[in-house]
């Protein structure tokens, strides 16, 4: 599964870790995160994330 970078703050969403504090279980692909989820660091939406190669 791909990792995704929050462009404004540099947070990286790693599907192996998820975002437990945000209700996202480990093993959850970025594409499967609800659309209303926001970056746990700066609060921007999923549309501000880009796939990390």
What residue numbers does the annotated binding site cover?
6, 9, 39, 42
Do residues 9 and 42 make contact, with C-beta atoms less than 8 angstroms apart?
yes
Distance of alpha carbon 34 from its chain centroid, rounded? 10
Do residues 4 and 19 make contact, with C-beta atoms less than 8 angstroms apart?
no
The annotated binding site for Fe cation is made up of 6, 9, 39, 42
């Amino acid at each position: 599964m791909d990792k995704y970078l929050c462009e404004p703050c540099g947070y990286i969403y790693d599907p192996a870790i998820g975002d437990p504090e945000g209700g996202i279980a480990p093993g959850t692909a970025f594409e499967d995160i609800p659309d209303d989820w926001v970056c746990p660091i700066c609060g921007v939406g999923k549309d501000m994330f880009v796939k990390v190669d």
